[in-house]
Amino acid sequence: MIPRYTRPEMARIWTDQRKFETWLEIELMACEALAELGEISREAVQEIKEKSKFDIRRIDEIEKVTKHDVLAFLTNVGEAIGPLSKYLHYGLTSSDILDTSLALLLKEASEIILQDIHRLLDVLKKKAFEYKETLMIGRTHGIHAEPTTFGLKMALWYDEMKRNLTRMERAKDAVSVGKISGAVGTFAHIRPFVEEYVCKRLGLKPAPISTQIVQRDHHAEFFTTLAIIASSIEKFAVELRHLQRTEVLEAEEFFSKGQKGSSAMPHKRNPVSAENLTGLARLIRSYSIASLENIPLWHERDISHSSVERVIAPDATILIDYMLDRLTSLIQNLIVYPETMKVNLERMGGLIFSEAILLLLTRKGLAREEAYAVVQRNAMRVWEKGEDFKSLLSQDEGIQRLLTRQELDGVFDLRSHLKHVDDIFRRVFGGP
């Protein structure tokens, strides 16, 4: 992944240094397990651990000849250890190291992503309560529908991210699976105890059964989870982009001092963060498709998945980390315009109260179809000629016969749309 989208903490996980550290850690733990079984002396293991080291440049040199990264690594470590290196990688296959290492790295990445989600949840909750009763128009099909609040919009996003938190916790668990079971997973040359020992030490679960590899449905679950999270982020970003449109302008990304919106038009303040997130979500979703295609492999294993994972594992985790952080900053610094929301609420001349008047008329005895026709007839005059809905209704003889002026006034009360906001917030956030 390019540096532009890479945050330092996540970047460290996907360095060659960290990769080889995990490889060495797994190899040494396997030696420890063999010592526990009495197959290697504890003194030998101690000497192996003291002498073991690697040099990335030397590994690269060897790999140019071997065309095999794990063997190049083992050769380099063996150069440092000497004769006792014969115990290194004993009874193991490359995928024992590669898959267990990948599980460990994805687990570490998951922990960062979970922290990111928690930070975003904190910001969303704060905004939800801040704008709990800030009325704005709710839109369906992009058209004015009925009043809602900006706080409810934030609460909805909070609730969705809570589900994403649960999904991510499951994904972390799903991918935290290692294997130390040999060439086709039969433990032909290594005892199951070694796998159990290594995985326990690393905080992983041993795969109940493997081929040469951990089965890729584990990884597909992980990457599809990232895709769902990315799609939620895009959903929020698209909404903010709509709200920032000039004709709407109910909310706006923070525009810092000295920031430029356009090379040609000095007046521009564009929703660049939200647009950036929208684009990056497409990448994450594409990675999930690649992970699904990794599930069917030939027989006990081929390497068609390997090249894919070398790209998508670092890129997807780096990107989702970046996206969550950028969205958190976007929402934290979001500029909200309640007055514009009020103006937009009034833009349609009171049509947003059409359902309320419809229901009141039915309660007064009109059949629903008749009531609908009466309300729609007046509503279309407002839609087409820009008249005032309440005034038209007050002049409609059919309505005059059924409703008092006071009853009609009661329909056009914005506050009525707030009466269950507290109930919704209790559902989302808990509390009395």
Active site positions, annotated: 141, 262
**CA pair distance 289, 226, nearest whole angstrom:** 11
Q: What share of the chain is helix, strand, coil (3-state, %, to 5)?
A: 70, 5, 25
Pairing relationship of beta strands 205-206 and 177-178 according to DSSP bridges: parallel
**CA-to-CA dists, residue 106 to 11, 175, 210, angstroms:** 12, 7, 19
Q: What burial letters (b/e) apply to 70-93, b meaning 16+ CB within 10 Å?
A: bbbbbbbbbeebeebbebbbebbb
What SS3 state is found at 266? coil
**CA pair distance 318, 313, nearest whole angstrom:** 8
DSSP for 383-405 reads: HHH---HHHHHHH-HHHHHH--H
Phi, psi of 251 (to 5 degrees): -150, 160
Within 8 A by CB and 6+ apart from 82, the residues are 51
Q: What amino acid occupies position 413? A: D
Q: Which long-range contacts (CB under 8 A, 24 or more apart) does 110-113 make?
A: 110/168, 110/171, 110/172, 110/175, 110/176, 110/222, 111/172, 112/9, 112/10, 112/13, 112/317, 112/321, 113/168, 113/226, 113/229, 113/317, 113/320, 113/321, 113/324
